[in-house]
Structure 1
Amino acid sequence: MHRSGILTIVAAAIFATAAISAAADTPANQPPPAPGNHNESLVVGAGAKKMTRTFIVHVPPGFDGKSKVPAVIMLHGAGGSGEGAIRETGFDAKSDHEGFVAVFPDGTTANPTLPARFLTNPRLWNDGSGRGAIGVENVDDLGFISAMIDFLEAHYSADPARIFCTGFSNGASMTFSVGLNLSNKVAAVAPVAGHLWEREKQLAYPVPLLFIVGTDDPLNPLAGGKVTLPWEKIENRPPVEDSLREWERMLGCGPQVQTARGKGVMEITYDQCARGGEVEYYRVTGLGHVWPGGKSRLPEKWVGKPSDSLMATDVIWDFFKAHPRTPAAKAKPIAKND
C-alpha cells in the first residue's frame, strides 16, 4: 500500500500562501501506489484551527505514477463520509474503467471528540451558507480541498488541467463553492441536488457546470420553500434554478435549449456563454433526494424515491472528460469588467 501522506499546512487565510512540510518524502525509486483505495490525511491550519483532514484516494489499474491522469473529487452529503460516497456513487468502479484517480474526502463534525453519527454528530461541509456549527466555526474546507489538490498533483500524478469536483446535497453546495472560489484549480464541477449559497460574486476563470436534480426532491424542491431535514430541523430553501442563474450570469450565458432525453429526463443547456464555459442541467422526473442511479443509504420517507432513468456517475464523467481546462482558459482569467 502507498504510504499515508501527512502534510502540515499553516495558512493565514483560505488563499494565503501555505508553508508545507512533508512528514516523509517519497524515495525516488519507490513504486507507484497500487490499484485500490489508499487512506490519506493532511494536517491543515494552525493553532486552535489545526485539524487532521482525511480522504480516500482510489487508484485505477495500470496507474504508473508517471503519466498525468484526471482526478475526480467526490464530496459526500451531510452526515455521510468518503467511504460512504464510494458505495453510493460507484465512482471507484468508474475510475477503474476510465483510468482516472477518484478522491473521497471527509467533512468535519461539530464535536470532533465524539464519533461521527448521521443524526447526532454528522460530518458536514462549510458550503458558504453559514449554516450550522461548521459554518459558524468557519471550518476551512476550501483550504483543505485546495491543499488536497496540491497533494494529488504531487503524489498521484493528477493533471492540473483535469481536476474535477462533484458532490451530493451538502457536498453539492460545497462543490458550487469549490467551483466559485477555486476556479483556478478545477476544470469543471458537477453538483447534484444542492445550492450555490454565495451570491453577487464573479468567477475568476470560466468553470463549466453540470447540475442534476430530481423533480420530487423533498429536501431541495424545485420551487424552493420550507423543508424538514432528517434531524428535524426546518430550513427555507431557495428555488433550485436560482443557483443556475447565478452561474449563467457569471459566465454570461445566452438563452437555454431544452431537450427531452427520454425516461422522464429533461436536459437544459446554456452553451453560448460570452465569458467561456457552459451550464448543463438535468431534471429527472420522480427522483427524490438520491444520487441518480446510485444506492441510497437513507429511508424513502426522508429522501423520496430513487431512479435509474439517469446514471449520474456516467453522465458526470462524460461531462468532465469533455471539459479539460484548455491552455487558453488557464492562462486568461475572466476580466473583472466583463
Structure 2
Amino acid sequence: MKQVIAGMGRLWPGVSVALSGLLFGSAVQAGCGPLADACQIDGGDYHIVLPDTGDEKALPAVMFLHGYGGSGEAALRNRAMVDGLNDRGYAVIAPTALPRNPGGPRSWAFLPDFGGRDESAFFEAVLADAEHRFNIDRKSVVLSGFSAGAFMVSYLACATPDQFAAYATIAGSFWRPQPESCTGPVRLMHTHGWRDEVVPLEGRYLGNRRFQQGDIFAGLELWRDTNGCTTHAPSHSGSEGGTLRRRWACGTGADIDVVLFDGGHRVPEGWAAWLADWFEDRPLSQ
C-alpha cells in the first residue's frame, strides 16, 4: 500500500506528494514535519511510517526498537520490514535510544546497572503521542526489537506484560543471570538466525567477560514456565524453506512462537509477514 508523510499535508497542502518523491523516492518516511523530522516528546523522539488504508479506523502498529548504536530513523531504512508491515495495514513506530554515556553509541537501558531513561515510561509516552497525532490503536500495538532492541523487549515483557498487546524479539533475549521469574503470561514471537555470531543462540561474553548474553533456549524455558505451559514439547512444529518453527499454545494470551532461519545477525526478509500472520492468529507465511 502507498505510504504517506504524516503531518506534511497539513503543513504544506498540495505539495506533499511531490516532496515525497523528491526526498525518499517510492518509500516515504512519515514524521512530524515537512522533512520527516522526528516526533519530539518529553524524554526523546521517534519516527513513524503510516499505511494508506483509505479509511478512518484506528491503526494497529508495530513499535520497533533498533539495535546497539542505531536510531529510529535508521531502522526505517529496512524497506522489506516497513513496506511489508504497511502492506498489511500496520503503522511502524521507531523510537530512538539515548547514548549510554555522553557522546557514546545509543542503546536501550534494559538493565538497572545501565541507568538512564525509564524506557517503559518513554514507550508509554510515545504510544500516547502516536495515538493522539496519528490515530494509532493503543490496544493493537506489538513491541518488537532487534539485537539490543530485542533485549529491551524481553525485559519489558517480563516486567510489564500487559503494556503491549504482544512482543516480538529478533536476535536477542535475556542476559545472564536471566530473571528467575516474570510477572505474567505474554504473547511472544522470537526469530533468530542459527548462524548468528553476534548474538549466538547459546549466548556469549561481552566487555572482557563483564556481561554475558543469555542462552536463547533457557529464555524460552522461562517463558514457557511464565505462560503456564504444561509441557516443554511444542504444540506445533515444522520446517520449510530454510526455516524451523515451533509453537507453544499455552492458553489465551499465552502463546510462544519461534522461527529459526538459515542466516546470521539480521532481520530476515520474510519477517514482516511472519509477524502479521502470527499476531492475527493466521498460519505463519511460508
Q: Shorter-chain-normalised TM-score: which range?
A: 0.7 to 0.9
Residue 62 of structure 2 is matched in structure 1 by 72
Partner-residue secondary structure (3-state), 2:83: helix
Residue 105 of structure 2 is matched in structure 1 by 122
Unpaired runs of at least 5, structure 1: 5-25, 45-52, 115-120, 294-310, 324-338
**Structure 1 residue runs of 4 or more that deviate by more than 4 Å after TM superposition:** 1-4, 33-36, 232-235
Partner Cα separation in structure 2 for residue 278 and residue 267 of structure 1: 13
Partner Cα separation in structure 2 for residue 126 and residue 312 of structure 1: 25
Residue 43 of structure 1 is matched in structure 2 by 42
1:170 partnered with 2:148: yes
Q: Report the alpha carbon displacement of residue 2 of structure 1 after superposing the two structures with TM.
A: 4.8
Partner-residue secondary structure (3-state), 1:90: helix
Partner Cα separation in structure 2 for residue 243 and residue 92 of structure 1: 28
CA deviations over 1:41-86 (Å, ceiling 9, x no partner): 1113xxxxxxxx011011112465x411101101100011112211
Residue 8 of structure 1 is matched in structure 2 by none
Letter in 1 for 2:118: D
Partner Cα separation in structure 1 for residue 95 and residue 119 of structure 2: 10
Change (3 A) 1:106 1:136: same
Q: How many residues align?
A: 253
What TM-score, normalized to structure 2? 0.78
Q: Report the alpha carbon displacement of residue 267 of structure 1 after superposing the two structures with TM.
A: 0.6
Q: Report the alpha carbon displacement of residue 279 of structure 1 after superposing the two structures with TM.
A: 0.6
Alignment of 1:185-224 (within 5 A): 185-197=163-175, 199-204=179-184, 206-224=185-203
Q: Report the alpha carbon displacement of residue 275 of structure 1 after superposing the two structures with TM.
A: 6.8
Unpaired runs of at least 5, structure 2: 18-27, 32-37
1:145 partnered with 2:104: no
Q: Report the alpha carbon displacement of residue 263 of structure 1 after superposing the two structures with TM.
A: 2.8
Letter in 2 for 1:122: P
1:314 partnered with 2:273: yes
Q: 2:227 pairs with 251, 254, 259, which one? A: 251
Change (3 A) 1:62 1:265: closer
1:96 partnered with 2:86: yes
What TM-score, normalized to structure 1? 0.67
Q: Report the alpha carbon displacement of residue 317 of structure 1 after superposing the two structures with TM.
A: 2.0
Partner-residue secondary structure (3-state), 2:99: coil
Does the CA contact (< 8 Å) of 2:6 and 2:134 recur in 1? Answer: no
Partner Cα separation in structure 1 for residue 129 and residue 260 of structure 2: 35
Does the CA contact (< 8 Å) of 1:219 and 1:227 recur in 2? Answer: no
Does the CA contact (< 8 Å) of 2:174 and 2:214 recur in 1? Answer: no
Change (3 A) 1:179 1:235: closer
Does the CA contact (< 8 Å) of 2:81 and 2:271 recur in 1? Answer: no
Change (3 A) 1:312 1:275: closer
Partner Cα separation in structure 1 for residue 114 and residue 156 of structure 2: 19
Residue 292 of structure 1 is matched in structure 2 by 268
Partner-residue secondary structure (3-state), 1:94: helix
Does the CA contact (< 8 Å) of 1:165 and 1:186 recur in 2? Answer: yes
Change (3 A) 1:137 1:42: same
Residue 278 of structure 1 is matched in structure 2 by 255
Partner Cα separation in structure 2 for residue 284 and residue 171 of structure 1: 19
Letter in 2 for 1:59: L
